[in-house]
Amino acid sequence: MHRSRLAGFIIDCKTDDLEAAADFWSAALGYDRARETEEDKYVPLTTPDGEPYIEVQKVSHASRVHLDIESDDVESEVQRLEELGAKRVDSVRTWVIMEAPDGQRFCVIRRGHKYFDDTANSWD
């Protein structure tokens, strides 16, 4: 049987100034900014070991917060969530964008996602 858990929160910002958005959320949440990714679309915040990660992301849709569910078997987790009433919206690289029955968007990501430190966050 596969295993899944909350991995992190993504703060989707419809903005032309990702730097300012990241500065705001860094100060608001009390977490330092980490490095930016190569795509210049994400700014990770540095969360303590054992806590979910938080990223500020530049998007073209309305601003919102979404969560990531981490799984050691993405497809099995997507199928399980579809059985619960969620629907698959899109696939991007190694993750799947889903929508809950109430319309909330979230992602199912593979275990070991580059912003998730498996050594600090064991499954047990």
Q: What pTM does this model have?
A: 0.76
Read off φ and ψ for residue 43, nearest 5 degrees.
-130, 105
> What are the φ and ψ backbone dihedral angles of 56, each rounded to 5 degrees?
-100, 125
| Separation CA 114–CA 98 (nearest Å) | 20
From first to last of its 124 residues, the chain has per-residue pLDDT tens of 889 999 999 999 999 999 999 999 999 999 999 865 556 888 999 999 989 999 999 999 999 999 999 999 999 999 999 999 999 999 998 899 999 988 899 999 998 765 444 444 444 4
d(CA 47, CA 29): 10
Q: Which two tokens stand for residue 53?
A: 């990660």
All structural domains of the chain with their residue ranges: 4-110
State the burial class of residue 113 (Cβ atoms within 10 Å of its Cβ: 0-12, 13-18, 19+). middle
- Looking at 3.40.50.2300, 3.30.9.30, 3.40.1160.10, 3.10.180.10, the CATH number of the domain 4-110 comes to 3.10.180.10
